[in-house]
Amino acid sequence: MRIIVDAFGGDNAPLEVIKGAAMAVAEYGHTVVLVGREEEIRRVAADKDIPLTGMEIVDAPDVITNDDVPTTAIRTKKESSLVVALDRVKNDEECIGMVSAGSTGAVLTGSFLKIGRIKGISRPALAPLLPTVDGGNVLLIDCGANVDCKPAMLAQFALMGNAYAKAILNKENPRVALMSNGTEDKKGNELTKEAFGLIKELPVNFVGNMEARDLLSGDFDVVVCDGFWGNVALKSCEGTAAMLMKLLKKEIMSGFFSKIAGAMLKKKFKNIQKVMDYNAGGGAPFIGVEKLVIKSHGSSKAKSICGSIMQVVNMHKAGLIEKIKKELYATNGEQPAITGN
């Protein structure tokens, strides 16, 4: 069982990627394949005393950057670390999935073109897990892969999210909601109104519309939306969290007694910061392709890379892809429950 890692994807590559891979091998013993400029990988590892035991290195001299046009880069930069990694994942049966912190557009486009969709899925979706106020998580699907969607696509997102929540979050009957501008059934635009009717007929625990302000309330296990508004919601959460931490720090440092109070509550503040730290849990899965793909944050450090590798392992052990297929074909046998482009 091998996990492929794009060693040159992300702002902190290759050092943090190599460190994260080494952490995963040391802690869990899984074989990691680093793809990238072999000479540089070995040099960086030697300079920082990072052991490469349990790792295979596949040389790939080129790199896809954030300035490259995703579709063009995937088709022309055939010796880039990302394209070589995708080819290895697709063609090696022992490779269960891959991790990359590189260009989001290139990772998603490459996964779509190189690995391919699960039969019956119109468009795969990017689906991060977000922390909720009750200590749980909510799956937001889609958060950026598909900025323009059709109603049938949102219905498929609901099925895939439902399968994920069962397999990974261990939810027996996940609460699936549709993001809209109000909780009433008739609220929304043309897209969400039509999607509402489709999702309502699916074999999922559909709890209706929800508003973005309740995303982290703990009232939902899966929230469905198109990639445009999902990304807006995600970035709004990140920005709000960062602002609150800065305001708290500013107020704590504003006076003598507040500094004392801050010192007394330091551990509590660190716990809150840990919950909101994207490096803690890994990356976002690209759900709907035939192999497991995790897109790590572009600024990921070693801890996040290690976490992303473990996400691949855990999803494989949970049989996520097979469960998505089962969910998709649950009602119609040979035909997917929802069809549409």
> Is 99 contained in some domain?
yes
- The verdict on 24 and 95 lying in the same domain is yes
- The verdict on 251 and 166 lying in the same domain is yes
Among 28-32, 291-295, 329-333, name the one with the lowest average pLDDT.
329-333
- The verdict on 47 and 153 lying in the same domain is no
The mean per-residue pLDDT over the stretch 263-276 comes to 74
Non-local CB neighbours of 78 within 8 Å, separated by 6+ positions = 84
Per-residue pLDDT at 304 = 92
The mean per-residue pLDDT over the stretch 193-207 comes to 96
Give the C-alpha separation, 139 to 292, whole Å: 16
212-265 per-position pLDDT tens digit: 999 999 999 999 999 999 999 998 988 888 888 888 888 888 888 788 887 887
* Count, residues in the chain: 341
Pairwise pLDDT comparison (36 vs 329), residue with the higher score? 36
Per-residue pLDDT at 62 = 96
- The verdict on 228 and 261 lying in the same domain is yes
Tell me, what CATH number does 309's domain have?
3.40.718.10
Q: Flag whether pLDDT at 57 surpasses 80.
A: yes
Per-residue pLDDT at 281 = 66
The mean per-residue pLDDT over the stretch 307-323 comes to 94
Per-residue pLDDT at 255 = 86
Name the token pair of 104.
């989001």
- The verdict on 42 and 133 lying in the same domain is no
> Is 341 contained in some domain?
no
Q: Flag whether pLDDT at 270 surpasses 70.
A: yes
> Is 188 contained in some domain?
yes
Q: Which domain holds residue 47?
A: 1-121+288-332
pTM: 0.89
- The verdict on 18 and 145 lying in the same domain is no
- The verdict on 231 and 147 lying in the same domain is yes
Give 61-94 as a DSSP string.
-B---TTS-HHHHHHH-TTBHHHHHHHHHHH-TT
Q: Please state, rounded to an integer, the average pLDDT across all residues of the chain.
A: 91
Give the C-alpha separation, 255 to 253, whole Å: 6
The mean per-residue pLDDT over the stretch 46-72 comes to 95
Structural domains of the chain, count = 2
- Judged on CB neighbours under 10 Å (0-12, 13-18, 19+), 187 is middle
